[in-house]
A and B are shown apart, each in its own frame.
Chain A
């Protein structure tokens, strides 16, 4: 069991190394944007003021509050120090709300939308891929082209199509939001119904765009495994097909779990854009708001949350894979 502990520790170490790099990039990238958010706020605050000295004073006040007057490296260390206290700064655009409070109200929506949707899409994709591999013939011929087609449509593109068809033309789904705009979030049945109603379009958009790619991967893995020597051997010993298929799909699933871990980041990124299109009250919409107003703290905060979420998922899946696949286990534990 010493090997197992070493394996887990190694994964956790990598988790932290990646996290540090991510924090740095999350900090630096939004700040490279060529605009001055403090000037934007100042002009908003100083509306109607004609006294240049007063405007200058307001500008300097905000500069001090946001810390933009200090050199960027100093800003970074202040940022990290605050981060360790759970303080992600104050939003520029939604001043004086703190980024932490904005995100804490948004993250629930994102997780509740993306996690089930990705998992459902992943399971359905693997299921269809496995069936396509096992049945071949007609099923495969219809299913594969559709999968290839759908897997190449990005989530945001598909979101627009869904929106036009179901919300605009057919009018059976709302065009935007996470719940009816005239409601205040509470736990009444009416509110929950409204949430579920608004949930459908974004949810199915993500599910459908996830299915295609997963199905293609699972299909080829399954075909490979179905032709493996152990399948023939098991059959020649009289083991029933039902059992053999179980071996095959278990083995074909293992790379799919790794695949899920690898594509998690891309998927969530793409899905965030879909969130924006549906104006879903999640982190995607907040990132969009942040980018349009050069709101560094909000962008950094949002991307940091997403990064941490993806990192945790990836590390978990890696660990799971290492523990359930004896081949990975052997390779990892020996070294």
Chain B
């Protein structure tokens, strides 16, 4: 077992709306990522993936609020830390973030290198600009990015190039954890491949020690990450290795997600994919029982009212469902 880079224990965060209502967006999430490993987070829109990313960074600002739980990065707890402290000592150096909309993540009126100066100076105020440039040039070269990108404005870069620049900028200080929130969702397949390749290189060369990869594209997760957890309505409903989750999903929601992937082969044209009707529940008033019960094809009366326990099985796998594994497998085999 490698060294644990990030461990999150029973993390709960909420959004407070304009009308002072609480929305429990991340509800009791626990996971850990070891050195050199990557964790994928899957789920449909609105189920709390991006909020989880923001919550894990420990930098809270309205309307997101921390409630309880622990975030431990490389042995140091950052939960409950002052946001300004987090910003100074954690963000960028311990945890780095690649935003969902990387297209607009760079200031349009600033050259990439000047932004890099600011990023590095925020953590090492005395580092001379010459050294930063040297470091950036070296890093860009290793990641197969043209060096002249440094002296360009973001408006002069193509979409894929912008995304890769953002990744390089985010990881310039070699953070322990990289959180990538749908880094490739707005790109064409070629750029996507380059982005993925780059993230792999970052890991192999040790510029990042671990990674959390958020996406709704399951085939991508299977190719990129070691483990996958599936999120639904602010909770983790299933966790396991990438292979296990893709080929042997246990929870009905994971099962439905995997079932919605189309593998292009003979005869798939015009084939109707099974779609899951409905949308995730409103988390202002989460259901008393299983949060997925309303959409679950196998739900019974009990599911709607009983608290659902987390069940662990196999090697570090878990799922959150009232039904037993055999019972679920049996149900899936009849489809």
B-binding residues in A (CB < 8 A):
228-230, 232-240, 243, 247, 250-251, 254, 324-327, 330
Q: Which of B87, B104, B170 contacts A230 (CB 8 A)?
A: B104
In whole angstroms, what is the CA distance A327 to B107 when docked?
Answer: 11
Known A239-B119, A239-B122; judge A327-B97 contact (CB<8 A).
Answer: no
In whole angstroms, what is the CA distance A233 to B180 when docked?
Answer: 12
| Residues of B close to A327: CB separation below 8 A | 108-109, 153, 155
In whole angstroms, what is the CA distance A136 to B125 when docked?
Answer: 31
| Residues of B close to A236: CB separation below 8 A | 57, 59, 91-92, 96-97, 99
- Asked whether A251 lies within 8 Å of B108 as measured between CB atoms, the reply is yes
- Cβ-based interface call for B82 (8 A): no
- Asked whether B104 lies within 8 Å of A237 as measured between CB atoms, the reply is no
Minimum CB–CB distance for A197 against chain B, Å: 43
| Residues of B close to A324: CB separation below 8 A | 109
- Asked whether A251 lies within 8 Å of B119 as measured between CB atoms, the reply is no
- Asked whether A233 lies within 8 Å of B99 as measured between CB atoms, the reply is yes
Q: Which of A228, A232, A235, A250 contacts B87 (CB 8 A)?
A: A235
- Asked whether A229 lies within 8 Å of B109 as measured between CB atoms, the reply is no
Minimum CB–CB distance for B104 against chain A, Å: 4
State which residues 222-257 of B face A: CB under 8 Å. Answer: none
B144-159 contact mask (Cβ, 8 Å, vs A): 1 or 0: 0000000001011000
- Asked whether B155 lies within 8 Å of A326 as measured between CB atoms, the reply is yes
State which residues 71-86 of B face A: CB under 8 Å. Answer: none
B190-233 contact mask (Cβ, 8 Å, vs A): 1 or 0: 00000000000000000000000000000000000000000000
In whole angstroms, what is the CA distance A232 to B99 when docked?
Answer: 9
- Cβ-based interface call for B93 (8 A): yes
| Residues of B close to A235: CB separation below 8 A | 59, 87, 91
Known A243-B122, A327-B155, A330-B156; judge A237-B96 contact (CB<8 A).
Answer: yes
Minimum CB–CB distance for B332 against chain A, Å: 40
Known A236-B59, A236-B97; judge A230-B105 contact (CB<8 A).
Answer: yes
- Asked whether B104 lies within 8 Å of A229 as measured between CB atoms, the reply is yes
Minimum CB–CB distance for B103 against chain A, Å: 8
Given contacts A230-B106, A237-B91, 18 further A-B contacts (CB under 8 A): A229-B99, A230-B107, A233-B99, A233-B105, A233-B106, A234-B115, A235-B87, A236-B59, A236-B97, A237-B97, A239-B118, A239-B122, A240-B122, A243-B122, A254-B109, A325-B109, A327-B108, A327-B109
Minimum CB–CB distance for A251 against chain B, Å: 6
In whole angstroms, what is the CA distance A129 to B272 when docked?
Answer: 55
Question: Which among A233, A234, A238, A243 has the greatest number of chain B C-beta atoms within 10 A?
Answer: A238
